[in-house]
């Protein structure tokens, strides 16, 4: 299936410069962004069926992050736009899902604020570092933080006990969310020290 899609994109009548934009990994990342408006249905109908359906959609969208990265590495389609678009798509879909769950009481607003502020701060530091020729790579801790956030958001979106029995998905989600919050803060501090050592001290 992946090979078929790759060949289909290769047949598109576009020049090599546009291949930087119009390629399969970037198309998958863009589709992930298209999921965001659908998540707003959670505000209109936060019942069990809709919650489960949107959670499944969110999980599928999150899994495409692994897919586009795999395709980019396998076929050598790692582009500058892809490096920019992929993390933006991840943060937008996770942060949007968390923000939408605040009005329906599924997630504390202060936790969402801490996570969003941390993301803005880290992106700002990496942008400043990049402008000075310093690349602060995404850390393993940051990637694990994102994985925890995805698990937490998935459970909180389900919210109800699956099929009417078993553990309450909301309780499970909150436990994972606090773990994600801890990793969010720690990874943010780690990025700050990297920024200090590689940019601030370099200036000095």
Evaluate if residue 32 carries a pLDDT over 80.
yes
Domain assignment of residue 112, given as a range: 2-203
Please tell me the total count of domains within the chain: 1
At 178, which CATH number? 1.20.120.1760
- The pLDDT of residue 13 is 54
- One-character DSSP codes across 55-101: HHHHHHHHHHHHHHHHHHHHTT---HHHHHHHHHHHHHHHHHHHHHT
More confident residue, 162 or 127: 127
pLDDT tens column, 171-192: 999 999 999 999 999 999 999 9
Evaluate if residue 167 carries a pLDDT over 70.
yes
Instruction: State the chain's mean pLDDT as an integer.
Output: 82
Evaluate if residue 24 carries a pLDDT over 90.
no
Evaluate if residue 7 carries a pLDDT over 80.
no
pLDDT tens column, 34-60: 899 999 999 888 999 999 999 999 999
Burial class (CB in 10 A: 0-12, 13-18, 19+), 81: middle
């Amino acid at each position: 299936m992946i090979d078929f899609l790759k060949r289909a994109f290769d047949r598109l009548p576009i020049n090599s410069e546009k291949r930087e934009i119009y390629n399969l990994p970037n198309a998958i990342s863009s589709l992930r962004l298209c999921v965001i408006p659908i998540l707003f249905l959670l505000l209109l109908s936060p019942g069990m069926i809709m919650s489960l359906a949107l959670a499944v959609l969110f999980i599928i969208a999150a899994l495409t992050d692994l897919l586009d990265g795999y395709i980019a590495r396998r076929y050598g389609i790692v582009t500058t736009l892809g490096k920019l678009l992929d993390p933006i798509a991840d943060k937008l879909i996770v942060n949007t899902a968390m923000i939408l769950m605040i009005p329906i009481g599924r997630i504390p607003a202060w936790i969402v604020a801490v996570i969003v502020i941390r993301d803005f701060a880290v992106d700002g530091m990496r942008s400043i570092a990049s402008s000075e020729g310093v690349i602060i790579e995404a850390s393993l801790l940051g990637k694990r933080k994102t994985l925890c956030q995805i698990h937490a958001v998935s459970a909180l979106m389900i919210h109800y006990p699956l099929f009417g029995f078993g553990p309450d998905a909301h309780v499970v989600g909150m436990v994972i969310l606090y773990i994600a919050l801890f990793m969010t803060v720690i990874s943010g501090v780690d990025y700050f020290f990297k920024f200090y050592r590689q940019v601030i001290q370099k200036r000095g």
